[in-house]
A and B are shown apart, each in its own frame.
Chain A
Amino acid sequence: MSIVATPALARLRGRFPAPASTRVLVHRGTCGDAVDVGGVVEVLRAALGTRASSVVETACDGACWAAPAATVVRPGHRHRFARLDREPLEAVVACLGGACEDAYAGSGERGLLARVGHLDGSLADALAQGAYLALAHAVTRKPDEVIEAVQRAGLSGRGGAHFVTAQKWRLAAANAGPRMLVVNAEEGEPGVFKDRHVLEGDPHRLIEGVLIAAHAAGIARAVIYVNGQARNARRAVDLAVTQAREAGLLDGSALGGTGVQIEVRSGAGGYVCGEESVILNSIEGERPVPRTKPPFATDRGLFDRPTVINNAETLCAATTVFDDPPPPTKLIPLSGAVPRPGLYEVPVDGITAWSGVLAMAGANPQRVRALLLGGPSGRFVLPEEFDVPLDMRGLGAGGVVVLPLDVDIPRITRALAAYNARESCGECTPCREGTPRLVALLEDASANRAQIDALIEVMTEASLCQLGGLAGKPVASALALFPQDFEAAR
């Protein structure tokens, strides 16, 4: 970003001591803890002796495959050491002393991910690495101008629906206040772990996005709704909200802007909670079922107030829209049969295609049967499509599982259908009755093909929300692309 710090931001930064420029970041967090990184930290501290204080525990930086991992940071220099359960720690110690080259490979672009896994958890560190620069800039502009900048950058919903963010903000702003903002960080789609990484590793990115939206759309109160299992993300956001409040960022006293109240909440599971109106019911203490639309949330949402509901990634991306923004990026949580599964930030620039994403993850496309894109609401992507440039509209929430050549497609298809049937909330008939019936028909998909097609049409057209609306999508995709697999499975 070419914009420079405003005097107010410079004053805020000046209130904190500068963080150390040389340190060893141990990527702890949910990924590291799942592979006993704690043991590595102890051994590393012992090996570093007098320099043990340079060890900083931080979150996973998106290179989940590398866990347990550490990154040595010296001025102008970064080097990630992967799989420290298998690799010797001496190289880390030597690197801190200057004996290694700059090497920080395998995570693609780092826009939204720039600070993820590189922060010590303090506001000072976040500020030193560029947090609140976009907000400082935004509050010097009128709300309309901020919305205009968001529009020019082409920002759209990153949760999958791809709605134009500027338009959503305008629709809510046109209604009388007080206006609400609900941050959808429920992220309950199997295979998706993007928002929790960003929240856990750089929660101030989200809060900055919330404050930019609050300024632009005149928001009085924001609720950040975090997935119930993402406990580390919740803790990180709670801490960051407290830090931001104490620094005067929420009441506008530090950088300007109108004050906003931020509340953080946890979900309790349920794929249907990704549907935005379900989150409104959940926050109000109602049963987590979808609402009929209209009224739209921007007119009557949370507690009947005009409400903007944005995905966490959308608000994070709102921090990157000022001045000459780079091409938009999409966070792609990628898992399955690849050497380097993890969270990738991919430019959606009309050039980058799946082949490029697979190359970053170390995959050989010759050994990939297909991608599963979007999990239980998604579709399969064949190798023929791997060189087609990515289009934001086709990416959904971004979750990708790479399927190997020997994958059992009917088995995966049945598992996805069964998941949707379990997660159906029961509020509307097409989904409540349709999802289990689809599972039953998949027992012999070849013989039941006509019934399956008819059922999917009803579920797609008549379901109240996208859980039922998209439940047939992976089934239809599998049957269209792999009919021989279902025939062979009879």
Chain B
Amino acid sequence: MADVLPYDVAAPEAAARLAEATRAVEAHPREKTALLPALLDAQHVLGWLPRPAIERVAAWVRVPVSEVYATATAYSELRLERPDPAVWHVCTGVACDLAGAEALLAASPGRTARIDCQFLCALAPVVADPHERLVGRVTAEGLRARLGAAPVESPR
């Protein structure tokens, strides 16, 4: 699991969050069918899936950690790395590409990254903020203004 960043469970806030995530995981039945719902709930609390969260899910649904990891890596929306809270994602689906996604990426280098279709094609071009809230009909100036106005939260 080399690509799973270290997660300091000893840090007070991290420990509290992990406890909360564990409660969410343990609200599910202890069956393999709960694997994905449990992973989603853990990610909902933590913002991503650090190794301790994977281990909690594995123990709860009684599936080897390696198998939970194999499953988690197969879903594009499950995050095994801590997301950068400063980065907004620019949709690069075909409609957004036609509507100028590349110009948005070029306008805010370092603060933007590519993401696949966000299914809001009729309001292209679309960006997603660090909380995955979608913004439609974005212009380069509008994006820069939003980035300037948005405080960067400290990572969890």
Decide if A and B are genuine partners.
Answer: yes
User: Which residues of A come within 8 Å of B, CB atoms?
Assistant: 30-31, 33-35, 64-65, 67, 187, 190-193, 196, 227-230, 265-270, 282-289, 333-337, 341-343, 372, 375, 401, 403-404, 407, 411-412, 415-416, 419, 422-423, 425
Given that A31-B136, A196-B119 are contacting pairs, would A284 and B97 also be in contact in the complex, using a CB cutoff of 8 Å?
no
Question: Nearest residue in A to B68 (C-beta to C-beta)?
Answer: A285
B121 contact from A227, A288, A401, Cβ within 8 A:
A401
CB interface residues, B 133-152, toward A, < 8 Å: 133-137
Contact of A336 with B36 in the complex, beta carbons under 8 Å:
no
Question: Chain A's nearest CB lies how many Å from the CB of B72?
Answer: 9
Question: Nearest residue in B to A289 (C-beta to C-beta)?
Answer: B74
Kindly state the separation between the CA atoms of A166 and B32 in the bound complex, as whole angstroms.
32
Interface size counted on chain B using CB atoms at 8 A: 41
Question: Nearest residue in A to B63 (C-beta to C-beta)?
Answer: A285
**Given contacts A228-B77, A336-B121, A403-B98, could you give 20 more A-B pairs where the C-beta distance is less than 8 Å?**
A34-B123, A34-B136, A191-B94, A191-B95, A193-B122, A227-B119, A228-B75, A265-B36, A268-B77, A270-B74, A286-B32, A289-B74, A333-B121, A335-B95, A336-B95, A341-B122, A401-B98, A401-B121, A416-B94, A422-B116
Given that A287-B71, A375-B94 are contacting pairs, would A31 and B120 also be in contact in the complex, using a CB cutoff of 8 Å?
yes
Kindly state the separation between the CA atoms of A284 and B67 in the bound complex, as whole angstroms.
13
Contact of A285 with B98 in the complex, beta carbons under 8 Å:
no
Is there a chain A Cβ closer than 8 Å to B39's Cβ? yes
Contact of B116 with A287 in the complex, beta carbons under 8 Å:
no
Kindly state the separation between the CA atoms of A407 and B123 in the bound complex, as whole angstroms.
19
Contact of B74 with A285 in the complex, beta carbons under 8 Å:
no
Is there a chain A Cβ closer than 8 Å to B154's Cβ? no
A269 contact from B70, B77, B94, B98, Cβ within 8 A:
B77
A282 contact from B36, B97, B98, B136, Cβ within 8 A:
B36
Q: Classify the interface of chain A: helix, strand, loop or mixed.
A: mixed
Question: Chain B's nearest CB lies how many Å from the CB of A117?
Answer: 13
Is there a chain A Cβ closer than 8 Å to B92's Cβ? yes
Chain B residues with Cβ under 8 A from A289's Cβ? Answer: 74
Kindly state the separation between the CA atoms of A196 and B120 in the bound complex, as whole angstroms.
10
Is there a chain A Cβ closer than 8 Å to B61's Cβ? yes
Contact of A268 with B76 in the complex, beta carbons under 8 Å:
yes
Given that A34-B135, A372-B94 are contacting pairs, would A270 and B76 also be in contact in the complex, using a CB cutoff of 8 Å?
yes
Is there a chain A Cβ closer than 8 Å to B31's Cβ? yes
Chain A residues with Cβ under 8 A from B98's Cβ? Answer: 336-337, 401, 403-404, 407
Chain B residues with Cβ under 8 A from A411's Cβ? Answer: 97
Given that A268-B40, A342-B122 are contacting pairs, would A401 and B94 also be in contact in the complex, using a CB cutoff of 8 Å?
yes
Kindly state the separation between the CA atoms of A81 and B155 in the bound complex, as whole angstroms.
42
Given that A35-B136, A227-B119, A268-B77 are contacting pairs, would A288 and B71 also be in contact in the complex, using a CB cutoff of 8 Å?
yes
Question: Chain A's nearest CB lies how many Å from the CB of B83?
Answer: 14
Question: Chain B's nearest CB lies how many Å from the CB of A477?
Answer: 14
A191 contact from B93, B126, B135, Cβ within 8 A:
B93
Contact of B77 with A412 in the complex, beta carbons under 8 Å:
no
Question: Nearest residue in B to A399 (C-beta to C-beta)?
Answer: B121
Provide the B94-138 mask, 1 if CB < 8 A to any CB of A, else 0. Answer: 110110000000000000000011111111101000001111110
Contact of B121 with A415 in the complex, beta carbons under 8 Å:
no
Question: Chain B's nearest CB lies how many Å from the CB of A58?
Answer: 17
Question: Chain B's nearest CB lies how many Å from the CB of A39?
Answer: 13
Is there a chain A Cβ closer than 8 Å to B37's Cβ? yes
Chain B residues with Cβ under 8 A from A285's Cβ? Answer: 31-36, 61, 63, 71
Contact of A192 with B61 in the complex, beta carbons under 8 Å:
no
Contact of A64 with B74 in the complex, beta carbons under 8 Å:
no
Question: Nearest residue in A to B102 (C-beta to C-beta)?
Answer: A411
Kindly state the separation between the CA atoms of A125 and B33 in the bound complex, as whole angstroms.
35
Is there a chain A Cβ closer than 8 Å to B45's Cβ? no
Contact of A425 with B32 in the complex, beta carbons under 8 Å:
no
Kindly state the separation between the CA atoms of A229 and B135 in the bound complex, as whole angstroms.
14
Is there a chain A Cβ closer than 8 Å to B87's Cβ? no
Question: Chain A's nearest CB lies how many Å from the CB of B112?
Answer: 17
Contact of A343 with B77 in the complex, beta carbons under 8 Å:
no
In the A-B complex, list the 10 residue pairs whose CB atoms are closest, starting with the nearest. A64-B122, A190-B117, A335-B121, A269-B77, A285-B35, A269-B76, A285-B32, A268-B75, A34-B136, A341-B122
